Chain A
Amino acid sequence: MSIIKVTNLQKYFKVAKHQRGLWGSLRSLITREYEPVRAVDGISFEIQPGELIGYLGPNGAGKSTTIKILTGLLVPSGGEVLVNGYVPWRERRRYVARIGAVFGQRTTLWWDLPVIESLDLLKHIYQIPAEQYRRNLAEFRELLQLDAFLNTPVRSLSLGQRMRADICAALLHNPDLLFLDEPTIGLDVVAKERIRQFIRHINQERGTTVILTTHDLSDVAKLCRRVMIIDRGQLLFDGRLGALQHRFGGRRELVVDLADDYPHAGVDGARIAHRDGQRVTYQFEPGHITASELIGRISARYRILDLAVREPDIEATIRRIYEERLLEKTGPMLGSNGYR
């Protein structure tokens, strides 16, 4: 049984068209023309309990809009959504009692009050049993290192501290699902890493299903086995990161330390991307030649001291997909990995 089932989801926003000039602005007082923005344009997917999904896409792709629909905040323009047995926007109160959500740019905490006051209030809001609240708070305090600022008013927290407090707030009631919209936005590397570790911990130890949107590719590369890539409201890819890399990653690299300063180190089937004395970096297309074949060819001509195969950088891969719109040409790559 999937915990989330989304079928042909659509959300259009009406945006008032700007009329040019004086005549235009006078006209717009009387009749306004609207232009539909297709924020989410026919998306379908299913998610199984316990998955940790990366929902990836450039700015304006439709990630937040999808999350707002999944959390019951927005009513979609079309399509069907069933999460945890609920249609989110129909039975909002009952539904949200079983989910947690963090929107990176907002806080659920009371701005002027110490963090702990807001957390205590959640105990009442979600009717969390005292024992569960105590245990969860103790665990999260340690894992997220909240102690230093538990009694500080939220407005005085750093962004990273606030985010940690917000993530704690979203989990005190043991939700079945956790939605995170850009949880690492604006954070430094250390703060990002701490939050990623915590998300992994919650997913693995508690089996909480996590959906995480981001435009930071390193979040996804480090956390998620399955990614969904959305752009312009459409799902372009849904599958394992490895499959994406395999298909679009383009060239792999073989770094070889040669035993001698060969003046010419070329081989058929690969090009030299970089050379630094005896260290040569070959680039090759995985479709044309395998790593072992290439190693065979090199070692037939030159003496090799050491070597390493380097996978293409996921960031570079996905950036290439966005920029060259590779997936649009080939059509969506759904179900390539048995997720459907």
Chain B
Amino acid sequence: MHLFWAITQRSFQRHLTYRAATVAGLVTNLFFGLLRAAVLIALYNARPEVAGITVQEAITYTGLTQAIITYISIFGWYDLMQSVYDGDVAVDLLKPMNYFAFWLAQDVGRAVINLLLRGLTIMLIYALIFNLTWPTAPVQWLALVSALALALLVSFAWRFLVNLAAFWTPNARGIGRFAFGITWVLSGFYMPLRYFPDWFVTLCQLTPFPAMVNTVVEIYLGLLTGPALLHALLQQVLWLAILIIAGHLVLRAGLQRLVIQGG
């Protein structure tokens, strides 16, 4: 655990040095967030609610999802893949540590700094422009924090798994783009899942993707309470366990056939 935090801290420190990129990313996220909000407002067209979501909640949804884009790397993450292709995976494997935990520790550092610098800023600016919904009950806050943490872990375990494709093919980037594109839609990032027909939502629930975004959103907006909330959190935990096990199995197979490029 000591080691995990030592790595997280350094990753945090390292991402702090990318200030210009953070500001640029922030502006982009904000711009598209406002665009999405404008589109939703137009679609609501003065209707009080759609699929049980008010326009105020819909606007909050766009802010929240934009705020966690980088936190969970919803648009994709290729660092591990890249390290396989340029051979830097060698220096990581030369260290006596769990490879999954090593990358996770780094990802937590990256995610937390982005949540603080980009996520919070976006929510604050949104709050200045719109009338937002906020969690109220302490239990809701507690559930939100848990769901956020689990969302990151599930998302990481999924990204780890996708990146392992690099052990098999020199063109895993294409696989990555496809996999992360699916994530984008099925997680509820593109649209709140409640807007979709029931059969589609049921289908989504059979995948780990809603656990990365939709669960967080619905808890934040107060759409999940009581047993439903607990169920959603448990689902996150379940998917996390499945993805971690899958990641380790695939990693073990991948290491058998690893080819390290360059000296």
Q: A107-B91, A124-B2, A125-B95 are in contact. Are A113 and B259 (CB under 8 A)?
A: no
Say yes or no: A68 contacts B13, CB within 8 Å: no
Taking CB atoms and an 8 Å cut-off, the chain B residues in 1-23 that contact chain A are: 2-3, 6-7, 10, 13-14, 17
- The CA of A110 and the CA of B88, in the complex, are separated in Å by 11
Please give me the residue from chain A that is nearest to B87 by CB atom: A106
Say yes or no: A121 contacts B7, CB within 8 Å: yes
Say yes or no: A73 contacts B3, CB within 8 Å: no
The contact of B90 among A68, A75, A112, A124, by CB within 8 Å, is A68
Contacts of B255 in A (CB 8 A): 75, 89, 92
Say yes or no: A96 contacts B94, CB within 8 Å: yes
Say yes or no: A64 contacts B14, CB within 8 Å: no
Taking CB atoms and an 8 Å cut-off, the chain A residues in 123-137 that contact chain B are: 124-126
Count the B residues whose beta carbon is within 8 Å of the partner chain — how many?
Answer: 26
The contact of B97 among A75, A93, A107, by CB within 8 Å, is A93
Q: A106-B90, A110-B10 are in contact. Are A74 and B259 (CB under 8 A)?
A: yes
Q: Taking beta carbons and an 8 Å cutoff, which residues of B are in contact with A?
A: 2-3, 6-7, 10, 13-14, 17, 87-88, 90-91, 93-98, 255-260, 262-263
Say yes or no: A108 contacts B94, CB within 8 Å: yes
The contact of B94 among A75, A101, A105, A121, by CB within 8 Å, is A101
Say yes or no: A126 contacts B96, CB within 8 Å: yes
Count the A residues whose beta carbon is within 8 Å of the partner chain — how many?
Answer: 35
- The CA of A13 and the CA of B93, in the complex, are separated in Å by 20
- What are 26 A-B contacts defined by CB distance under 8 Å? A68-B260, A72-B94, A73-B93, A73-B260, A74-B258, A75-B255, A89-B255, A92-B93, A92-B255, A94-B96, A96-B95, A97-B96, A103-B91, A104-B263, A106-B88, A106-B91, A108-B95, A113-B13, A113-B14, A117-B10, A117-B13, A118-B10, A121-B10, A124-B6, A125-B3, A125-B97
- A181 close to B (CB within 8 Å): yes
Contacts of B93 in A (CB 8 A): 72-73, 92, 96
- The CA of A101 and the CA of B90, in the complex, are separated in Å by 10
Say yes or no: A73 contacts B94, CB within 8 Å: yes
Can you add 5 more A-B contacts, CB < 8 Å, to A108-B94, A121-B6, A125-B96? A72-B93, A73-B260, A96-B96, A103-B90, A125-B97
